[in-house]
Amino acid sequence: MLVTGGTGMIGQYLVRALRERGHTPRVLSRSSGDVQWDLEAGILSDGALDGVDAIVHLAGAGIADKRWTEARKKAIIDSRIRSTEVLEHALRAKRDHTVRSFISASAVGFYGSRGDEVLTEESTAGDDFLAKVAVAWEQAADRMQPLGLRVVKMRIGIVLAREGGALPEMAKTLPLGVAGALGGGKQWYPTVHVEDLAQQFVFALEHPELEGPYHAVGPEPIRQKDLMHTLLDATGRSAVVMPVPEFGLRLALGEMADAVMMSSRCSAEKLEAAGFAFRYPTVSAQLKALYRD
Ligand SMILES: NC(=O)c1ccc[n+]([C@@H]2O[C@H](COP(=O)([O-])OP(=O)(O)OC[C@H]3O[C@@H](n4cnc5c(N)ncnc54)[C@H](OP(=O)(O)O)[C@@H]3O)[C@@H](O)[C@H]2O)c1
């Protein structure tokens, strides 16, 4: 199987998890990895699809790496759509390809910010920037279907890991004795431990009956403010949880404040009903596992 973005944070956990299950993943990368692609030229290196039965597509320019200028927003969308199209064209061109499954990353940002509304995979899409990114990415992934591929869209939530993503940012001020309740902290965060997320992708790969969108999140979402209290408990630190006003976040982050203010009250019910079992089901278990050493 081929993993795009296999060099990234989630990708590295996924590649490790796949190897542990006896699979032989190959990483498709712009510059390192086992096989390469040139997205501007629209080409994969020779033999990149040989013997490949499944593609996991994680690659894309980092959502929160840089301020959302118009140029950055274009890069965030284009990198995901263009890369999916390059894969689609390569599959069309290789008539004897053996790829049967296409497992694409997407995000709970698909729904936009929805307050206390309980969201399922059937809920409608939002219309803010992140929603537009997810919708366009999923539509690009769906274009693999007419080629006879099974398409699964993993709507990833807030991935908890020590190496990157939201957690190190939220934990940054703890040594100063303060924790931020962002914009008041009432928004729902559907957290998932990065190892469980990697296993969710493995599950999607190994279960051919899965098709369509799935929440790649934990069993229970948590309000951001409560997440900070749970984090304090897991780290054994004491800090005051202080409200950070939304206008301050907007001054500091610009439109990217949407990403931290986003409320996505959703769970992994559909994936669990399909048989997925969590190693770290509660937010407390997720955080304690990450901070145990
Ligand atoms: N982490 C989260 O909380 C989270 C939440 C929701 C959704 N997701 C989605 O899940 C995917 C993986 O997340 P991650 O946290 O592992 O991301 P990451 O660490 O930033 O890795 C993404 C990978 O994509 C490739 N990439 C970067 N810029 C690119 C560009 N302009 N064009 C093509 N490829 C590019 C890179 O691989 P090469 O340099 O090897 O080419 C990189 O290793 C992303 O698409 C992300 O949007 C993540």
For 2, 42, 51, 198, the CA distances from 100, given in Å and listed in that order, are 12, 22, 11, 20
pLDDT exceeds 70 at position 293: no
Give phi and psi for 264, each to the nearest 5: -130, 95
Q: Is 94 in the pocket of ligand 1 (CB under 6 A)?
A: no
Are 101 and 145 a contacting pair, CB within 8 Å? no
Q: How confident is the model at residue 95 (pLDDT cuts 50, 70, 90)?
A: confident
pLDDT per residue as tens digits for the range 121-178:
999 999 999 999 999 999 999 999 999 999 999 999 999 999 999 999 999 999 999 9
38-65: average pLDDT: 94
pLDDT exceeds 70 at position 252: yes
Domain limits for position 179: 2-290
| Amino acid identity for residue 93 in this structure | A
Q: Which residue(s) pair with 160 in the sheet?
A: 193
Q: Is 62 in the pocket of ligand 1 (CB under 6 A)?
A: yes
For 20, 74, 246, the CA distances from 63, given in Å and listed in that order, are 29, 11, 20
On average, the pLDDT of the chain sits at: 96
Residue of 156, 215, 227, 262 with the most ligand 1 atoms within 8 Å of its CB, for mutation: 156
Q: Is 82 in the pocket of ligand 1 (CB under 6 A)?
A: no
Count how many domains the chain has: 1
Cα(256)–Cα(68) distance, integer angstroms: 6
Q: Is 29 in the pocket of ligand 1 (CB under 6 A)?
A: yes
Whole-angstrom Cα Rg for the chain: 19
pLDDT per residue as tens digits for the range 260-287:
999 999 999 999 999 999 999 999 999 9
Which atom of ligand 1 is the closest one to the Cα of 158? 3
**Region of 92 on the Ramachandran plot (φ > 0 left; ψ -120 to 50 alpha; else beta):** alpha
pTM over 0.85: yes
Q: Output the residue whose Cα is nearest ligand 1's atom 27.
A: 61
Q: What is the pLDDT of residue 46?
A: 87
Which atom of ligand 1 is the closest one to the Cα of 156? 6
**Region of 69 on the Ramachandran plot (φ > 0 left; ψ -120 to 50 alpha; else beta):** beta
Compute, in angstroms, the gap from residue 251 CA to the centroid of ligand 1: 26
Domain CATH code at residue 188: 3.40.50.720
Q: What is the pLDDT of residue 275?
A: 98
pLDDT exceeds 90 at position 196: yes
Cα(272)–Cα(262) distance, integer angstroms: 24
What percent of the chain is modeled with pLDDT above 90? 97
| Amino acid identity for residue 199 in this structure | Q
80-107: average pLDDT: 96
Compute, in angstroms, the gap from residue 177 CA to the centroid of ligand 1: 32
pLDDT exceeds 80 at position 292: yes
Q: What is the pLDDT of residue 84?
A: 97
Q: Output the residue whose Cα is nearest ligand 1's atom 11.
A: 58
Are 30 and 39 a contacting pair, CB within 8 Å? yes
- Torsion angle of C-alpha atoms 69, 72, 74, 78, degrees rounded to 10: -170
198-207: average pLDDT: 98
